[in-house]
Structure 1
Amino acid sequence: MALHDALAERGGVWIGAGPEPGEASEALEVIGRDPYVRLAFTLTETEQHDYYLGFSNSVLWPLCHRRGDLVDLDPDFEAAYRAVNARLARAIAKVLEADDVLWVHDYHLFPLAQALRRLGVTNRIGFFLHIPFPTLTDLAVLPKPSDFARWLASYNLVGFQTRADTARCLEMFRADPRAEFMTDGTVKFEDKIVRLGAFPIGIDTETFARDAEGSEESPFRRDAPEEYLIGVDRLDYSKGLPNRFNAFARYLEERTDPERRPCLVQIAPPTREAVQAYQDIRRELEEISGHINGAYAELDWTPIRYIHRAVDRSRLARIYRHARACLVTSLADGMNLVAKEYVAAQQPDDPGVLILSRFAGAAEDLTDALLVNPYDEADIARAIAVALDMPLEERVDRYESCIQAVRDTDVRRWSKQFLAGLDRTLPSFEWPKDEFSAGWPLSAPDDPLIA
């Protein structure tokens, strides 16, 4: 949504991978023109396996989510990752114009700016990382750790979800003898200057709130639980789902009123099912939910409703609205927009309670949620009990604080702030006349955007 608005307002081109494998090509295919041009590049079946499922999601994804034990260092993966980024750079360079601004997104494309610079591209290039930035120790797991800093330094502006992620990136540069910190807050790395910053992403708050207010019909129709908590996550080992299920079972075991029968509704659409780690987490969750339901269910009550598929967005908003609490128990998360969606969907005069992992990026700003340690099942179980018994006055106070934070990081503000920051950076290889100057030269605000 944010990129759509930015491209529609500024004009520009969207570039992304096509959905189906095909023959390798350095040509970009036009797949749409309204309201802006959309181009696609093709991955071969081998590249989908080695580049996407391999290095991107079996090396970088677990590395950034503190799961170095799941990293698969197959040398073919790294070779494909570098080759795809180099090929994409050549394709982009062919269509790039002198005043274009590029905004690159996420871990699949870390080396793209370096590949473009090697082709002589000096345009402003920004990068936004949607997932957590790895720790210095985790970076050492990479096959060539010293390349990582150079990849990032080839961008003009690198954005992160949180201040903590920015600090981890600064730590990486601080530990590298090739880096030098400038007085204006930028990092000089060899012959490059890069600026770092936190740009917390958000949601379209007002639109989501309207969706939640929509139909009076129950999103469960005739099978609505009397009282329920909601969890919505892609089926991923970073989301802490086994701990969440076990914590809910612990709450059921320890509840003071055995007649109270809340339900945990867990929606977990599949993702990356060809990766072994995702097959393992699906099997584990099915086993845990089956065990808990077998131990606690009654003929007219199922404690966990586990749904392994996506739910329509408007219906999901109404499910959020009527949930007594939302469980976000990520072990590591760049932001977690489910937390913000839940808050936006609430009834202001009778809101539910957000139970939020302190390791989710959203916890930096949603400080009046019930913050929990996602590794501590007893802590989560206590938070469930507190949330379900919380007085209305306290629920409203916490909601008002959280909804203000959600509005302050609305998705449109996120894109505008990032692009304004990128516009103020120096074009690559253009050095300031006075390196101690506090100001940045301004580029034209209407430079077309390529995202």
Structure 2
Amino acid sequence: MPARLIVVSNRIPSEATPSGGLVVALHEALREKGGIWIGAHPEVGSEEPALIDMGGTQYDKLAFRLTEEDREAYYLGFANSVLWPIAHHRTDLVEINRSFDEGYLRVNRRIAQQMAEVISPEDHIWIHDYHFFPLAEELRSLGVTNRIGFFLHIPFPNITDLDVLPDPPAFARWLAHYDLVGLQTRADVARCLEMFRADPRAEMLPDGAIKFGAQEVSVRSFPIGISAESFARAAQDCAPPPAHELFGDAYVIGVDRLDYSKGLPQRFRAFERYLESYDTGPRASLVQIAPPSRESVRAYQEITADLQQIAGQVNGRFGEVHWAPIRFLHRPVPRDEIAGLLRGARAALVTPLADGMNLVAKEYVAAQDPEDPGVLVLSRFAGAAEDMTEALLVNPHDVDETAAAIRRALTMPLEERQARHTACLKVVEATDTRIWARSFLNRLAACTPALRITGRAAEWLRDEEEGREFDPGAHRSISKEEV
């Protein structure tokens, strides 16, 4: 039987033709290769003993059900109130709660048990993002020896920030059970290798892989991209009316899921500084689309209130009867409509304080008319900045620098805009979703699985490493002699 692809991510697409960067990339990989997509069921409910068949014509879709307790502890708790702020350098926002890490491990263990029922020996498994760091270890403990790859879509944490975790040594051990760990940027790879070098359990091998006890893992950069051709087509088909009919002389655009890592308050203040300092320049509007997310988390409630307050202040100070400097849309906007708005914007502000990649930067470049392109203003702290060096790179904490970049973007000569766009577009095309997925999967297929200690022996060794008394009953009866 040919190897199937089994993808695990926090969500699975509900529609036949999905949208969104990660979802589109995985949809196309599965459509080409065939296999199973596993993700969370959209509805919270009672715990299910097996994965739920969600249908699917081009590949199977299976869902694990979260209980309300799981959602609070595993998803909102450990994943988004511990791991997310640690990865985005906001350890001040970490909420340590023993029920969070217990719930995180419990859900990953249950998903592994459910997956073990559908995995065939030839399958390649591709696990995505911070919700599932321990999943490979849990699968190994059940005897799964398949090639397992992991891709992290957010920044890799700094080594000092990892110490905030309730059990810091567990993090490196979780990653060591994968055959391949994919990260967004070369800087992320450097941070990951720094973590392993500092760990006495790890040994750096000549080929760059890491030996960790009986495990061996390879760490590589695979910068994710977009389907550039289809996004450019959508932008052309949905181009908005001329800017002056909607937004004054021109408009700059921001498109972000509402999150404290995106630097939105700093962006609003930088645009205010542009209005203060450059009153002889184009009368531009800032169109900020920021759909809500994780609204039950206090940090997200606070940033929403901050943005509404700043937008109201700026509009009250600079607005006119028929013109508002900031248009703040705190709701979802259809993807095609966003594509058209990106095409019409004279500049895009992609200014996160920390970001794994940021696909909006690539979508903006793909959406532009090459004969009259807009200008990308890009944070140095976005993963995209590592290769898109011809964007206007800024420090988002510096509102004066960002305001000056807005001014430069709005007044840049056509020839310079075209040259910068051409250079950025080459990066977008080189990291197309198909190229990204194929590159990762080819590398995973080339991995030679190490001699894995799996099943009950792996559980015993984990107890030994963590200094716990070995409990044969808890591990279905195994002796040290068997190990």
Normalising to structure 2: TM-score of the pair? 0.87
Residue 249, structure 1, aligned to residue 241, structure 2: no
Matches within 5 A, 1:302-321: 302-321=324-343
Q: Structure 1 residue runs of 4+, over 6 Å off?
A: none
Give the Cα separation in 2 of the matches to 1:215 and 1:416: 30
Residue 413, structure 1, aligned to residue 435, structure 2: yes
State whether residues 30 and 39 of structure 1, in contact with CA within 8 Å, keep that contact through their aligned partners in structure 2. yes
Structure 1 residues 322 and 423, CA gap change in structure 2 (3 angstroms): same
State whether residues 156 and 195 of structure 1, in contact with CA within 8 Å, keep that contact through their aligned partners in structure 2. yes
Give the Cα separation in 2 of the matches to 1:213 and 1:15: 34
State whether residues 247 and 323 of structure 2, in contact with CA within 8 Å, keep that contact through their aligned partners in structure 1. no
SS in 2 for 1:333: coil
Give the AA of the match of 1:153.
A
Give the Cα separation in 2 of the matches to 1:391 and 1:221: 19
5+ residue gaps, structure 2 = 1-23, 454-483
Identical-pair percentage: 58
Q: 2:173 aligns with which of 138, 145, 150?
A: 150
Q: 2:355 aligns with which of 311, 316, 333?
A: 333
Equivalent in the alignment of 1:449 = none
Give the deviation of 1:219 after TM superposition: 8.6
Matches within 5 A, 1:221-232: 223-232=246-255
Give the Cα separation in 2 of the matches to 1:25 and 1:210: 42
SS in 1 for 2:408: helix
SS in 1 for 2:127: strand
Residue 65, structure 1, aligned to residue 71, structure 2: no
Give the deviation of 1:401 after TM superposition: 0.2
State whether residues 159 and 197 of structure 1, in contact with CA within 8 Å, keep that contact through their aligned partners in structure 2. yes
Q: 1:130 aligns with which of 147, 153, 174?
A: 153
Structure 1 residues 41 and 151, CA gap change in structure 2 (3 angstroms): same
Give the Cα separation in 2 of the matches to 1:333 and 1:216: 28
Give the Cα separation in 2 of the matches to 1:421 and 1:407: 20
Superimposed CA distance per residue, residues 52-94 of structure 1 (whole angstroms, 9 cap, x where no aligned partner): 0000000000110000000000110000000000000000011
SS in 2 for 1:38: strand
Give the AA of the match of 1:145.
P
Give the AA of the match of 1:287.
Q
Give the Cα separation in 2 of the matches to 1:250 and 1:289: 13
SS in 1 for 2:377: strand
Q: 2:259 aligns with which of 236, 239, 250?
A: 236
Residue 170, structure 1, aligned to residue 193, structure 2: yes
Equivalent in the alignment of 1:180 = 203
Tell me which moved more, 312-321 or 51-60.
312-321
Give the Cα separation in 2 of the matches to 1:121 and 1:175: 28
Residue 160, structure 1, aligned to residue 186, structure 2: no
Equivalent in the alignment of 1:273 = 295
Equivalent in the alignment of 1:205 = 228
Q: 2:381 aligns with which of 359, 366, 373?
A: 359
Larger relative CO (CA 8 A, sep 6+): 1 or 2?
A: 1
State whether residues 219 and 318 of structure 1, in contact with CA within 8 Å, keep that contact through their aligned partners in structure 2. no
Give the deviation of 1:224 after TM superposition: 4.7
Q: 1:380 aligns with which of 394, 402, 413?
A: 402
Residue 285, structure 1, aligned to residue 307, structure 2: yes
5+ residue gaps, structure 1 = 432-451
Residue 106, structure 1, aligned to residue 129, structure 2: yes
Q: 1:45 aligns with which of 50, 68, 75?
A: 68
Residue 392, structure 1, aligned to residue 411, structure 2: no
Q: 1:21 aligns with which of 40, 44, 48?
A: 44
Give the AA of the match of 2:68.
E
SS in 2 for 1:126: strand
Structure 1 residues 318 and 370, CA gap change in structure 2 (3 angstroms): same
Give the deviation of 1:25 after TM superposition: 2.3
State whether residues 29 and 41 of structure 1, in contact with CA within 8 Å, keep that contact through their aligned partners in structure 2. yes
Give the AA of the match of 2:307.
L
Normalising to structure 1: TM-score of the pair? 0.93
Equivalent in the alignment of 1:443 = none
Give the Cα separation in 2 of the matches to 1:217 and 1:305: 15
State whether residues 215 and 452 of structure 2, in contact with CA within 8 Å, keep that contact through their aligned partners in structure 1. no
Give the Cα separation in 2 of the matches to 1:8 and 1:266: 34
Give the deviation of 1:225 after TM superposition: 3.8
Give the AA of the match of 2:237.
G
Residue 3, structure 1, aligned to residue 26, structure 2: yes
Give the Cα separation in 1 of the matches to 2:56 and 2:39: 14
Give the deviation of 1:119 after TM superposition: 0.9
Give the AA of the match of 2:217.
V
Give the Cα separation in 1 of the matches to 2:65 and 2:316: 47
Give the deviation of 1:226 after TM superposition: 2.9
Give the deviation of 1:214 after TM superposition: 0.8
Structure 1 residues 166 and 216, CA gap change in structure 2 (3 angstroms): closer
Query: How many residues get paired?
Result: 430
SS in 1 for 2:120: coil
Give the AA of the match of 1:240.
G
Q: 1:296 aligns with which of 302, 315, 318?
A: 318
Structure 1 residues 352 and 220, CA gap change in structure 2 (3 angstroms): closer
Give the deviation of 1:261 after TM superposition: 1.5
Give the deviation of 1:222 after TM superposition: 5.8
Structure 1 residues 216 and 102, CA gap change in structure 2 (3 angstroms): closer
